[in-house]
A and B are shown apart, each in its own frame.
Chain A
Amino acid sequence: MSTLDKSMSLAGEPPNALNTNQKISVLIGMTGLGILILQLFNLQLGNSALWLSISLLLIFLGVFLFSQAAYAHKHEGIKNDGVWFKSISSRGVLGWLTGIALTGFYIVLYFYPEYLGLVQDGDNKGVIALFDPLSKALSGNPASQWFVYGALYTLGILAFGIKFMWKYRHNGYQRLRTISVMFFQTAFAFIIPEIMARLNGDLPYYDLKNMWPLNYYNFERYRINGFIDAGDIGLAMLFFGILSIFVISPILTYKFGKRWYCSWVCGCGALAETVGDPFRQLSDKSKFAWKVERWVVHSVVVFVTLMTTAVIYSYLGNDTSKYWLTKSTFLIGVSVILTAVFAWVMIFKRDQLQKDAQYGAIGYFTIIAVLIGMHFFSGDGNIFIFKSNTLRTTYSFLIGSIFSGVIGTGFYPIFGSRVWCRFGCPMAAILGFQQRLFSKFRITTNGGQCISCGNCSTYCEMGIDVRAYAQKGENIVRSSCVGCGICSAVCPRGVLKLENGPQEGRINPTEVLLGNDVDLMELVNRK
């Protein structure tokens, strides 16, 4: 039966029609947003600092009061009443309108910032000018479209983070996790890089928690030069950037699963968990979607690896006397690392991979090997057939802008909140690979208590069919799981728990659940 259309009909209206306080808070928040939108038309309001403060404050207050009106008078507990009846959260008219508006905003932001008032070599106008005072206070520079975006992004995470904590206030894990993403966004992604820019003008903008390959540009020539020119601090940061890929992240992922990053630290994750929370149930759980996800996300990793290799390669020289790292040494180094990883997986972890994953790994490895081999036959600047610059711009356009921004966030109300993390993020794929193969993290299931109700799967933002595992009593070890903990929270029978335990028996398919006498369990498991 479809109860989906109820919100559009006269009878059977959604149970959660807005109460009076919520209507007032919508008005407050929309007024704040309205001020920003008025700026698009280049209205001169006078004191930018004042109007910006009023606008941001009203938006924050609107969301804050809205959440208070929604949750404060209710008991602690799961609050998904009417989610599928509301137009905004069930791909109704409001959902589509929001999706279109967000997508439009991203397109303007990435490709037409002049419509927001960005002026090259001159004073900003419009919305961007409104943010100038804040930007100048932090970094001393006038605002850019990225600064405006960063400020709004942070505001969204803070305001909706509070909403999220209110909604899950009975749940210590959710509260702390949300505080963590709010902190990392505000401090590491927003304020610290700006202040660093002020203290040391030559240092490239560096969000420390944002590591390669998410910041695929980290090893480009201008940044490397920036780091090196900035002296010890710069070198330390460059070193940290490399360390975080090869040492810090594998260790943390071993201990805690990829959740330490994806749902506690990452900015994209932070936005998905807070602003995107009302849309988490929209992710596609079909087997087909899972297959697409595996191929797409791993292709992105391969692409980003090739691209970074090509980019670094392009500015290295051939002369060892000038600099120890030459084109050839670098390529050999990359080949050795990739071969080592590939060999390790194929020798020790092959059993844990599905057939198509094995084929994929072999295929990708061959491609990389061939391309690197071609280095010795191609001319300078022409690496891997393509120009490194072509690769770089293709990636930054297709993945960096279209996928991570326009689709990833713009389509929240259509495809759920983690489209980017699921299908596009190379970082998530690499961490997921580590999580799948050698982490202590898994989601355990509680004996035979599962009643297959499907709350866990419905609310999994990563599109994992959690129930399929839970009803078999299997631990859940999936590359894509970001450990948000919502499956465990919404389970009415307390079946699921996120655990960092010993690796023994982490992946243990059992076909019969606890409850039957032991003989039957043994019999079926023997098969």
Chain B
Amino acid sequence: MQHIVIIGNGISGVTLARHVRKLSDKKITIISSESEYFFSRTALMYVYMGHMKFEHTQPYENNFWKKNRIELVNGYVEKVLPDQKTVSLSNGDLIKYDALVIATGSKPNKFGWPGQDLKGVQGLYSKQDLEQLEKNAPNKNVCKRAVIVGGGLIGIEMAEMLRSRDIPVTFLVRETSFWNGVLPSGESEMINEHIREHHIDLRLGTNLKEILSDENGKAKAVVTDKGETIDCDVVGLTAGVTPNIDFLKDSGIELGKGVKVNRMLETNIKDIYAIGDCAEQHEGIGLRRPVEAVWYTGRMMGETLAQTLCGNPTEYNPGHWFNSAKFLDIEYQTYGWVFSERNKKEYEEHFHWRHPKEKLCITIAFHKDTHEFLGINNFGIRLRHELFDRWLNEKRSVQYVLEHLKDANFDPELYDSYEEAIIAKFNQDFNQNIQPKKKSWRRILKLA
């Protein structure tokens, strides 16, 4: 019986294992040193905030693995030996494989800042990081101030976590506005306001220069490039993540930023594959980046590779880009491509609407000349994924999308809706006369 060994029990490794089990009887082993059972990494913040217990982040009951004959090995892979088709663990165990899947995910970036390895300095990615944070910042008496470095999604999550325990937070963001490498300026500006409303000391256009140590080798302050020294007990390093592949250095597997794979998710060595955050496409697919550290791409790669391993060779072929996040209280979803000013394509035109009082806004990107709908960012309004996927497939015009915007609304019932206001603004901005169509279940569900 073929033995599939998966390194890493994150979403991609576990999805792969589940689908292989659905499709076959192969022997499956998952190796992880992070946690006994699969949990949802994205939910770690809620454990610290007291919304959930760690057990709640585990999507499957503990007996699930035995029942589905997925063997779990708690261990740390030190080396991959492709010649012998074996992996060696740090405790000396050797595990033989017929197919090896690397699904080791990411680790937080460190850019060689002086003092980055001091006590009290940490990232936020693994279960161990969370345990570390619980030690470093249990409350506002032990941690009188925290400084977070890096203006992305993990940074703002960490700020929210610490604020939930009333710990003062200074948030250093290199960019001139929060996440403006990704978000258009109107949206980024709104999030800046929202961060400040939550009493987070947001410092834009500010870099970390060094972290100062006290006599016990623990962080006591940070120095910024503006010459300021900020006393603190905890430094959160959240300046992005990189693939977690150091253990593969001498294995002969081709590495770039991540493990190089083709569209079949194969590495340069036969029977070794890589999926999830640690996999790097030779070239980005469509406008996507070669490495995509997103929950759902990991899941999709797992689904795809399971097909390949079970005798149905399948290319990894992600559909339209989408994503979502939550900035403190503001939900964000995006479908298709809306680029920030920095990365905007020359044909890309934006329509932006923001509610006069509430923290709600949308940005729609469309083609200047053809008016083809390219993508939408929505903040504080929920929109239906399926419809935007369909509209992107059908290459609908921006006018069509606005006309049918009521179909796409996914807000809870009895919420205020803003389609009329959005369309009015669009008509005004672009001198159009679009009339919103009433919501239709027939259109939404494609009932003839």
A residues at B contact (CB < 8 Å): 1-4, 6, 11-16, 75-78, 80-86, 170-173, 175-176, 281, 286-287, 446-449, 451-455, 457-458, 467-468, 471, 485, 488-490, 492-494, 497-499, 501-502, 504-505, 511-520, 523-524, 527
Contact = CB atoms under 8 A, between A and B. Distances in A.
Interface stretch (B68-76, B322-330, B423-431): B322-330
A485 B412 contact: yes
B322 A448 contact: yes
22 contacts: A1-B54, A75-B329, A78-B51, A80-B50, A81-B50, A84-B51, A173-B414, A453-B43, A454-B52, A454-B56, A455-B52, A471-B59, A494-B324, A497-B382, A511-B22, A515-B300, A516-B319, A518-B319, A519-B317, A520-B307, A520-B314, A523-B314
A77 B330 CA distance: 8
A281 to B, nearest CB: 8
A516 B317 contact: yes
Given A494-B410, A517-B318, A523-B307, A11 B333 contact: no
Chain A CB count within 10 A is highest, among B19, B296, B333, B416, for: B296
Interface residues on chain B, size class: 35 or more
A295 to B, nearest CB: 19
B142 interface: yes
B445 A451 contact: no
A126 B372 CA distance: 76
A493 B447 contact: no
B322 A455 contact: no
A494 B333 contact: yes
A457 B320 CA distance: 28
Nearest to B128: A1
A454 B40 contact: yes
Given A15-B164, A172-B412, A173-B415, A514 B447 contact: no
Interface stretch (B130-138, B221-229, B344-352, B397-405): B130-138
A174 to B, nearest CB: 8
A130 B445 CA distance: 59
A173 B413 CA distance: 6
Contacts of A527: 22-23
B385 A512 contact: no
Contact of A501 (B52, B130, B165, B441): B441
Contacts of A4: 53
Contacts, number: 203
Contacts of A504: 445, 447
Contacts of B59: 452, 454, 467-468, 471
Contacts of A286: 61
Interface in B1-54: 11, 19, 22-23, 40, 42-43, 46-54
A81 B296 contact: no
Given A493-B333, A515-B319, A517-B318, A446 B384 contact: yes
Contact of B412 (A86, A468, A488): A488
A82 B385 CA distance: 32
A259 B299 CA distance: 34
Nearest to B49: A81
B287 to A, nearest CB: 15
A494 B331 contact: yes
Given A75-B197, A173-B414, A502-B441, A492 B317 contact: no
Contacts of A468: 59
A516 B131 CA distance: 35
A453 B139 contact: no
B375 to A, nearest CB: 15
Given A1-B131, A467-B59, A447 B50 contact: no
Contacts of A513: 296, 299-300
Interface in B134-175: 134, 138-139, 142, 164-166
Given A173-B412, A455-B43, 8 more contacts: A81-B49, A82-B164, A171-B415, A286-B61, A446-B385, A447-B386, A454-B59, A494-B333
B189 to A, nearest CB: 18
B166 A15 contact: yes
A15 B139 contact: yes
Contacts of A502: 441, 445, 447
B57 interface: yes
B304 A83 contact: no
